[in-house]
Amino acid sequence: MSNYQAPMRDMQFLLHEVFNAEKLWSTMPAVAELIDKDTVDAILSEGAKLTAEAIAPLNRNSDEQGATWANGEVTTPDGFNKAYQLYCDGGWGALSGDPEYGGMGMPKMLQSFVEEMTQSASISFALYPMLTAGASLALSAHASTEMKQTYLENMYSGKWAGTMCLTEPHAGSDLGIMSAKAEAQDDGSFALSGTKIFITGGEQDLTENIIHLVLAKIPGAPEGPRGISMFVVPKFLLNDDGSLGVRNTVTCGSIEHKMGIKGSATCVMNFDGAKGFLVGEENKGLNYMFTMMNYERLGMGIQGVGAAETSYQQAAEYAIERIQGRSATGVKSADKKADSLIVHPDVRKMLLTMRAFNEGGRCFSTYVAKQLDIVKFSDNENDIKQAEELVALLTPVAKAFMTDMAYESCNLGQMVFGGHGYVREWGQEQLVRDVRIAQIYEGTNGIQALDLLGRKVVANKGKFLDVYFAEITSFITQHNENKALNGFVQPLATALEKLKAITELIIAEQEQDKNMIGASATDYLAAFGLLSYAYMWAIMAEKSSGHSQQSDQDFYQAKLYVGEFFIERLLPRIDGHILAIEAGSKSLMTMPESLFNYNH
């Protein structure tokens, strides 16, 4: 099924009403003259058209056919080349790029919606331009002017692609133990040797050149992550006039055979003395890579919402059309042999759960994107500082909670279809397989949870929480007497106090119990995510109330219905996570290691 339609009204609601984006952007000189409401709506409309008509129809075949590898060359699925050219011709790869080098300079709040549309249409397709955007961001932030002039324009245009080469067979989350090396050459370049795995788009047939960003160590560099440098390693070296020259000694040794995203080439890349060029300073590579990681990890959350949105659209349509059984309150469709699935409470619960997580996640990703825009474009130092703290705090939540909930949503979408959900041509089982990776790559969700609790909360005694919790408290105080919002504000206030209390408990307990952080991290992130979504639903409810006379009152009424469901049926999950944290680490850590093996 490829009948995806971008949720335009919801995206416009978030930008124009909830976050008043145009007013925010008007305070930012770098974007104030570039964008207004009409421009925003035009971009969203064109993005919706491209993704629905040119990309979504390719999704199922991309899964059936997959990317193929032979003799070092990768062939992408049928139709990808044409769709990619349409994507490039529309300037979509340049949307948020640096205007000095051919980009459009649009803010992340807008770009994130185009990103979601593309991910909803086909994750496999979306990954190719997504990795180029990430590599471009790193170069824009840290490369020399000469290097930017050499690479960025062609990367923004889509003529060249980009990759990120981090992981090695023995070095995944622990990049400090990587063995790829870069040896200085007399001409100022470096010879890179080593093997990188899980490289998205490491080889493909969509672009004439691929610009690899490679993390490696220069001999004599400090041990661990402090000794990592970043290098540009082009697939084809460039002549003095910028034209393509000889093939570099970087090759694709194979591609992975994966559970999902089969149209995306996940490559093993071999660097055999390949010519590379240092980005920025030596031994700063990991810092440079993390510049784009905030964007990429938010992108993973958006990827999750994108897949879950497609799952919801298909499941809701199926539940309305499929007749099965009768309503418990009496016949609803007397002219039919049975009522539609939508009359059954459990089916409604699945659909409402999906929609509540999807729309809450979309709002949350926009909120985080807003902070990234403030950091990038604001000229107010205090605003930038606060936004930086919020980005640091919320990025792991955006990556992990959004993808966890997206995976749950896609599973629910499959369940709404029943047996048909297990059959390939209906599309739901592909969504389940495709979205599963979002919980794993760009740092597994367990790693994100450790980052949130260990580094962003405990390490600074909750300092990063102050700004976020103060904002939520201010909202509660401002709307505490608003009877129309009472069903949102009071539960939000209660959840906030619960999270504050459990945070204080963890900070105190971890002094004696060194496993407390590891034992609590995933439950803490889930509780934090539920609180954050409750806040998002409260601010959406505030903007949705009082619209009974509007022509699109159904939109606002649906917001309130779904928001009420989230507060009453999903937010209470926070109590289970808190109880698990309060149990401590004992039951996790006391069983001897040998007993984990049945054959001991």
Catalytic residue among 115, 116, 442, 542: 442
Assign 20 to helix, strand or coil: coil
Assign 412 to helix, strand or coil: helix
Give percent helix, percent strand, percent coil of the chain, each to the nearest 5. Answer: 60, 10, 25
Tokens of 456: 């962003």
Q: How far apart, in whole angstroms, are the C-alpha atoms of residue 101 and residue 82? A: 25
Buried b (16+ CB within 10 A) or exposed e, 552-580: eeeebeebbebbbbbbeebbeebeebbeb
- CA separation, residue 161 to residues 127, 137, 400, 530 (Å): 11, 13, 27, 37
Neighbouring C-beta atoms of residue 284, cutoff 10 Å: 16
Rg of the Cα trace of the chain?
24
Nearest residue to 153 (alpha-carbon basis) of 165, 169, 136, 178: 136
Nearest residue to 40 (alpha-carbon basis) of 121, 107, 137: 107
Q: How far apart, in whole angstroms, are the C-alpha atoms of residue 134 and residue 345? A: 43
- CA separation, residue 416 to residues 32, 253, 411 (Å): 45, 41, 9
Q: What angle do CA 599, 440, 211 make, to 5 degrees?
A: 130
DSSP conformation letters of 196-240: EEEEETSS-SSSSEEEEEEEEE-TTPPSGGGGEEEEEEESEEE-T
Helix (H) or strand (E) holding 350: helix 345-377
Neighbouring C-beta atoms of residue 67, cutoff 10 Å: 25
Residue 400 · residue 448 · CB < 8 Å: yes
Q: Is 442 a catalytic residue?
A: yes
Catalytic positions: 442
